[in-house]
Amino acid sequence: MARPPLAKWQMSRPDPDSPDWQNGKCQGLTPCAPGFAKWFLLLMLKGPSKWTVSLLDSCRYRVEGNQTATSYPNMLSLAFSLTPIPVRLMDDTGLTQENPPPAINETELALGILRQVECLQDLDQVVDGDQGLFEGLVQESTALLKAARYSVESYPGWAEEKRIRFGRAS
């Protein structure tokens, strides 16, 4: 079975100048996302091995019991990029030239995270708006379930039944 072209799907950022953004209709600032990301940033900066943290394109979606077009997403999927901060050895003898450690600006890192969190992509809306993506996801999930020796005959119908529809009848 040929793999569907899911890698072609890319996330798009909303335009901060758009009327939806300015009228508060962009509900992307999920309250726990910046808090968790800031906690993770501090954890990585304060540990024995220090790392910088940046938030990559991340998503939100609805899970069982909350799967309607009018419900707010209740699950986050946050992706982080971690870069190690080099450790400098101290040469008290002065035989080597010491380079100062790189300056880490926690405020700039935190603001970068906030810019990424501003409007997390709603995966349920993305999937509803792209039939090819939905079909590809069903194929991928079916293959995964089959590889794990689950019965897959009824899975496509179940996935269609559970699919959240926005702006049209279910």
- Residue 15 inside a domain? The answer is no
Domain that holds residue 81: 29-122
Q: How far apart are CA 154 and CA 156, in angstroms?
A: 6
Are 59 and 74 in the same domain? yes
- Residue 90 inside a domain? The answer is yes
Do 37 and 78 form a contact (C-beta atoms < 8 A)?
A: yes
Q: How far apart are CA 60 and CA 69, in angstroms?
A: 14
The token pair at 138 is 């069903």
Q: Report residue 140's pLDDT band, with 50, 70 and 90 as the boundaries.
A: very high
pLDDT tens digits, residue range 63-119? 877 788 888 888 889 999 999 988 777 777 878 777 776 778 899 999 988 888 876
- Residue 94 inside a domain? The answer is yes
What average pLDDT does the segment 115-141 reach? 91
Entry field: residues in the chain: 170
**What pTM does this model have?**
0.67
Q: What is the CA radius of gyration of the chain?
A: 22
What average pLDDT does the segment 36-49 reach? 90
How many domains in the chain? 2
In the chain, DSSP finds a helix count (H) and a strand count (E) of 6, 5
Q: pLDDT at position 17, please?
A: 52
